[in-house]
């Protein structure tokens, strides 16, 4: 009979409480291994069969190490065979009856605000012990399909943001062909096939109006679109809530902006993008939790180069390019996505209710993710675009109805998002006390300041 260390037992109990399923602890092959216990009916005997799914193991110090995928079947010393099934119900249908505890929501919010927080920092914010954090993070990643990335200040990188809108006269479109044409353009970050007043909504970045005009020409003269009759519109946009994630293809184009020394002794100026900064942005956009030392190694940079680049790009008094290392939730139980365009028809009336509008954005229900994915101001038409997921049938008309009551001087146009052709919509749990809406409300003394959690951002 193996006697389990106290730290192992404590970590196992914390894991059981978090996991919410039957689990057992076994000392096997020199490790304290954890298994989820389930039962299924045998197709021949109709008798219940015990199925054990390997979760991971606990070190003697009480740290939980998640299992690697596709583990082989294991045997106990007595010959008992264990069927190791990594395709548990959570993985097959991650959103089915998905329930997360309050400190799991806190963990998701903390990682949304700063995905590079240390385990100690995450533990202080969430109340989850350091011993259980690695497992809890891995579980969130598995359930929600989390991808870690960067939110950037595009203006400080030398780019402006634009929206391209298209209305096609032909009913049937081959979006797979359209995807081929659009995805080749590194300036395109998100393209949505929609139903409503527009059929295609494209979010892109460009250095100036001339470049975005070239982007549009490149898109509409592509093989998939060059013979299709359509009305095309371009408008500059300014994000006010959320962000549009950058595709990795963008960094192929960004490489051309990297500063290169042309003569001996020449130094780059503050606005120049150095090679180490470029390398850091490219790698952290793919995975913002990546080790900085691994970036140095991959790009053959002197030790500490990536760390210096991160500090320079994150510093508000410096380049201030990185807003925050954050994340995207890819697995959510949604019906579909929707966009509302609130066109301003009475500016004076709208401004009278602007603070109510701000309060509505930040005073949201305590859902797993934020109510709105992205909000931006449009120049042409003078409007506000809201992009958000429909999680329940009752939400379909609810948000539009609530916005209609709260803000005045606008008329609404609705768009149903059929699919994201290129790129990703960002879903996360942003702390709204750090939003521009909250900051503006406090500045205007429309609300009293609240105590904010420090995320080290």
Measuring CA to CA, which residue among 138, 122, 8, 95 is closest to residue 60? Answer: 8
- Is residue 87, in this structure, part of any structural domain at all? yes
Looking at the fold, whether 345 and 232 belong to one and the same domain comes out as: yes
- Is residue 271, in this structure, part of any structural domain at all? no
- Is residue 306, in this structure, part of any structural domain at all? no
For residues 427 and 334, give the distance between their C-alpha atoms in angstroms, rounded to a whole number. Answer: 11
Looking at the fold, whether 24 and 160 belong to one and the same domain comes out as: no
What is the torsion angle, in degrees rounded to the nearest 10, for the CA atoms of residue 32, residue 33, residue 37 and residue 42? -130
| pLDDT for the residue 176 | 86
* Residues 321 and 281: beta-carbon distance below 8 Å: yes
Looking at the fold, whether 89 and 160 belong to one and the same domain comes out as: no
Looking at the fold, whether 239 and 352 belong to one and the same domain comes out as: yes
Q: Give, in degrees to the nearest 5, the angle at Cα 103 between 99 and 104.
A: 45
Tracing tokens 């291994």 back to the chain, one arrives at: 33
Residue ending a domain, choose from 144, 177, 194: 144
| pLDDT for the residue 70 | 45
- Is residue 102, in this structure, part of any structural domain at all? yes
Looking at the fold, whether 78 and 203 belong to one and the same domain comes out as: no
Looking at the fold, whether 98 and 216 belong to one and the same domain comes out as: no
Structural domain that includes position 116? 6-144
For residues 403 and 436, give the distance between their C-alpha atoms in angstroms, rounded to a whole number. Answer: 18
For residues 453 and 38, give the distance between their C-alpha atoms in angstroms, rounded to a whole number. Answer: 39
What is the secondary structure of 375-437 as a DSSP string? Answer: EEEETTTTEEEEEEEE-STTHHHHHHHHHHHH--SEEEEEEEEEEEEES--------GGGSHH
Q: Check which CATH number belongs to the domain holding 429 and give it.
A: 3.30.70.3460
Looking at the fold, whether 24 and 131 belong to one and the same domain comes out as: yes
Looking at the fold, whether 22 and 128 belong to one and the same domain comes out as: yes
How many domains in the chain? Answer: 2
For residues 337 and 391, give the distance between their C-alpha atoms in angstroms, rounded to a whole number. Answer: 9
Angle subtended by helix axes 395-406 and 354-362, to nearest 10: 150
| pLDDT for the residue 87 | 35
| pLDDT for the residue 137 | 95
pLDDT in tens, the chain (457 residues): 678 888 888 878 877 765 555 788 888 888 889 888 876 766 676 667 778 888 788 888 776 666 654 434 433 333 333 333 333 333 334 444 566 888 899 999 999 999 999 999 999 999 999 989 999 999 999 999 999 999 999 999 999 999 999 998 876 678 888 898 899 999 999 999 998 899 999 999 999 999 999 999 999 998 888 888 889 999 999 999 999 999 999 999 999 989 876 655 556 666 689 999 999 999 999 999 999 999 999 999 999 999 999 999 998 877 899 999 999 999 988 888 999 999 999 999 999 999 999 999 999 888 899 999 999 999 999 999 999 999 876 777 788 889 989 999 999 998 999 999 999 999 999 999 999 999 999 999 999 999 999 998 6
Phi, psi of 60 (to 5 degrees): -60, -25
Looking at the fold, whether 218 and 362 belong to one and the same domain comes out as: yes
| pLDDT for the residue 22 | 76
- Is residue 175, in this structure, part of any structural domain at all? yes
For residues 230 and 435, give the distance between their C-alpha atoms in angstroms, rounded to a whole number. Answer: 37
- Is residue 305, in this structure, part of any structural domain at all? no
- Tell me how crowded residue 397 is: count the other CB atoms within 10 A of its CB: 12
- Is residue 75, in this structure, part of any structural domain at all? yes
Residue ending a domain, choose from 144, 176, 201: 144
Residue ending a domain, choose from 144, 170, 188: 144
For residues 211 and 237, give the distance between their C-alpha atoms in angstroms, rounded to a whole number. Answer: 15
- Is residue 123, in this structure, part of any structural domain at all? yes
For residues 260 and 273, give the distance between their C-alpha atoms in angstroms, rounded to a whole number. Answer: 9
The Cα-based distances of 156 to 152, 153, 273, 308, 316 in angstroms read 8, 6, 11, 18, 11
Looking at the fold, whether 139 and 173 belong to one and the same domain comes out as: no
| pLDDT for the residue 84 | 35
| pLDDT for the residue 86 | 38
Looking at the fold, whether 208 and 126 belong to one and the same domain comes out as: no
Mark out the alpha helices in 114-184 (DSSP H runs): 119-126, 130-144, 175-183
For residues 401 and 451, give the distance between their C-alpha atoms in angstroms, rounded to a whole number. Answer: 31
Looking at the fold, whether 136 and 171 belong to one and the same domain comes out as: no
Q: Give the single-character DSSP code of 207.
A: S
Q: Which pair of structure tokens corresponds to residue 41?
A: 């009916």
């Amino acid at each position: 009979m193996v006697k389990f260390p106290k730290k192992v037992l404590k970590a196992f109990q914390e894991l059981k409480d978090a996991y919410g399923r039957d689990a057992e602890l076994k000392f096997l092959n020199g490790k304290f291994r954890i298994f989820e216990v389930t039962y299924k009916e045998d197709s021949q005997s109709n008798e219940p069969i015990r199925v054990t799914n390997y979760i991971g193991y606990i070190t003697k110090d009480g740290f939980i190490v998640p299992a690697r995928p596709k583990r082989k079947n294991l045997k106990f010393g007595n010959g008992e065979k264990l069927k190791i099934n990594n395709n548990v119900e959570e993985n097959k249908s991650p959103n089915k009856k998905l329930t997360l505890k309050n400190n799991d929501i806190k963990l998701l919010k903390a990682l949304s605000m700063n995905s590079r927080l240390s385990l100690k920092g995450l533990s202080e914010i969430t109340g989850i012990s350091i011993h259980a954090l690695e497992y809890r993070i891995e579980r969130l990643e598995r359930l929600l399909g989390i991808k870690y990335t960067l939110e950037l200040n595009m203006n400080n990188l030398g780019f402006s943001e634009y929206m391209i809108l298209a209305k096609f006269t032909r009913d049937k479109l081959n979006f797979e062909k359209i995807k081929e044409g659009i995805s080749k353009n590194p300036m395109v970050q998100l393209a949505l096939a929609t139903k409503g007043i527009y059929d295609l909504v494209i979010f892109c970045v460009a250095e100036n109006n001339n470049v975005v005009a070239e982007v549009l020409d490149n898109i509409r003269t592509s093989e998939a679109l060059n013979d299709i009759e359509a009305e095309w519109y371009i408008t500059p946009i300014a994000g006010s809530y959320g962000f549009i994630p950058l595709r990795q293809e963008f960094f192929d184009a960004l490489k051309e902006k990297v500063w290169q020394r042309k003569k001996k002794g020449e130094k780059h100026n503050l606005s120049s993008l150095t090679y180490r900064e470029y390398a850091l942005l490219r790698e952290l956009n793919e995975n913002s939790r990546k080790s900085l030392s691994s970036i140095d190694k991959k790009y053959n940079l002197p030790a500490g180069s990536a760390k210096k680049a991160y500090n320079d790009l994150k510093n508000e008094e410096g380049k201030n390019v990185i807003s925050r290392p954050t994340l995207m939730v890819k697995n959510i139980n949604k019906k579909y996505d929707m966009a509302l365009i609130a066109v301003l028809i009475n500016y004076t009336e709208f401004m009278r209710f602007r603070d109510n509008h701000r309060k509505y954005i930040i005073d949201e229900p305590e859902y797993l993710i934020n109510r709105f994915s992205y909000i931006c101001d449009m120049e042409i038409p003078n409007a506000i675009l809201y992009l958000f997921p429909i999680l329940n049938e009752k939400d379909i008309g609810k948000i539009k109805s609530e916005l209609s009551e709260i803000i005045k001087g606008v008329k609404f146009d609705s768009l149903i998002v059929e699919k994201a052709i290129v790129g990703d919509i960002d879903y996360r749990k942003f702390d709204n006390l750090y939003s521009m809406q909250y900051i503006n409300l406090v500045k205007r003394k429309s609300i009293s300041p609240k105590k904010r959690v420090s995320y080290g951002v």
